[in-house]
Structure 1
């Protein structure tokens, strides 16, 4: 049985509660600020540190706004339509990694709007800190005792207060999976010079890993019946991410690409 911190509040400063989830988000963004300037050499970029810091700033907005809006639209549209002010209550939870993807993509398009040929170059560099950020964020889900899995007899099962039996630590599975994705993307970034292909790898690996882990996770929202089987909303969104990976792959193969190949 795995034991982990069950207190969602990390520290309190003058009566103000600082949650683990917020600290982990901060750690992910700080890690991105450290890694991005060091990774750019693998795509022959020469941005200054200040430029990368600006990108991380916009990335924070993209992840937070995209993640929240994605959760509202993908998972609880009727609830938030009836309670619109709850959209701003982000401290109560409710973020979508798929929505965060959309937010980051919009940020990349905004930042590189005058240099579209560089969009895939920048996307490749972002993959490693993005995967690590996802891994760190899932630790927050674990601490919050949310997004847990179905019952298991495996020795690494976790206990959830008020929930019967040991459960698959699916948030931990996701975290470890994203760490592996980060390692593979780093290897690919170093060994492949063609812009865009590391982005394809990242999107495809994330989509497949998320799709598979969803089979072990207790659905937090209604499932989707596609005829031959039922899929969670996360699986449906993961299929869309996989299709976007195929789209990027197709664009990279085209002769008339932004990257100029």
Structure 2
């Protein structure tokens, strides 16, 4: 068993102002995405300035934050937030939905594309390899918050989490960091280094994320207010990943068929 590091969720305490590690992880994700996008900008759109790129990153960041929070409210704990709507603004306590954030990013990207004469999938293919930076940082934020831990286990790397009872558990946040952050970034970054048909990079992102998340859900404890939806193992996260994988596969098939038809 490994000791849980017990990091204070508050990174900096300035009296009435408290800066949480969870919030800083979002800044790391947004900043990392901007830096990597800057490196890829010339090959994507040589006429764009850094200001235009910053606008795109800002729009998508707002999509992540607003969509992620609203997605959690709608998908995971709607009755609680209806009873106390002010809880929606307490984002430093966690409670963000990746699938809601994805919908937010898609909407923001579509609106940005309309304003800048770029197709939706051109922008999504450009953005997709940048997303794992934020996903990985977010999972580290979950780990510091000691939330979203896994099931009880006897694996050598199990940890006892402050709010998880006395038994050692899977550090599922670190599994997701490794898969959704590191592995997904490596796959998409190297795949997108060569020209690919439009929609292919977006499709690969959806497939890989959906598979990775579906797998980790088997060892992650589901949200207490939802529990398992069916068969004693199916979670909301898995339900939301199924259309991602199917949709991603459809995008890749369509992308390469359309490329072959043009050849």
Task: Calculate the TM-score normalised by the size of structure 1.
Answer: 0.90
Partner secondary structure for residue 112 of structure 1 = helix
Alpha-carbon distance between aligned partners in 1 of 2:46 and 2:78, rounded to the nearest angstrom: 41
Deviation at 1:92, TM superposition (A): 3.0
8 Å CA contact 1:109, 1:116 repeated in 2: no
Aligned to 1:224: 229
1:1-40 map, 5 Å: 1-40=2-41
User: How many Å separate the matches in 2 of 1:185 and 1:54?
Assistant: 23
Find the aligned partners of 1:11 and 1:149 in 2 and give their Cα distance: 28
Please identify, of 247-256 and 209-218, the stretch whose mean Cα deviation from structure 2 is larger: 247-256
3-state DSSP of counterpart to 2:119: helix
User: Structure 1 residues 113 and 251 mapped into 2: Cα distance closer, same or farther (>3 Å)?
Assistant: farther
Separation in structure 1 between the aligned mates of residue 200 and residue 41 of structure 2, nearest angstrom: 15
Query: Corresponding residue for 1:207?
Result: 210
Residue 134 of structure 1 and its aligned partner are, at CA, apart by 0.2
How far did residue 73 of structure 1 move? 0.7
Provide, for residues 191-237 of structure 1, a one-character-per-residue CA deviation record: whole Å limited to 9, x for no partner.
Answer: 34322211111111000000000000011132212xx6641001101
Residue of structure 2 in register with 1:88 after alignment: 89
Name the CA shift for 1:183/1:2 in 2 (closer, same or farther; >3 Å). Answer: farther
The 1:79/1:15 distance shift into structure 2, 3 A limit, reads: closer
1:174 to 163, 173, 176: 176
Q: CA deviation at 1:114?
A: 5.2
User: Residue 151 of structure 2 aligns with which residue?
Assistant: 150
Q: What stretches of structure 1 of length at least 5 have no aligned partner?
A: none
Task: Answer yes or no: is the 8 Å Cα contact 1:151–1:165 preserved in 2.
Answer: yes
CA root-mean-square deviation? 2.2
Q: Which residue of 1 aligns with 2:199?
A: 196
Compute the TM-score of the two structures, normalised by the length of structure 2. Answer: 0.89
Structure 2, gaps ≥5 residues long: none
Indicate the residue corresponding to 2:190 in structure 1.
Answer: 187
Counterpart in 2 of 1:97? 98
Residue aligning to 2:56: 55
- Deviation per CA, 1:37-58, whole angstroms, max 9, x where unpaired? 2123444554211111011111
Aligned length: 256
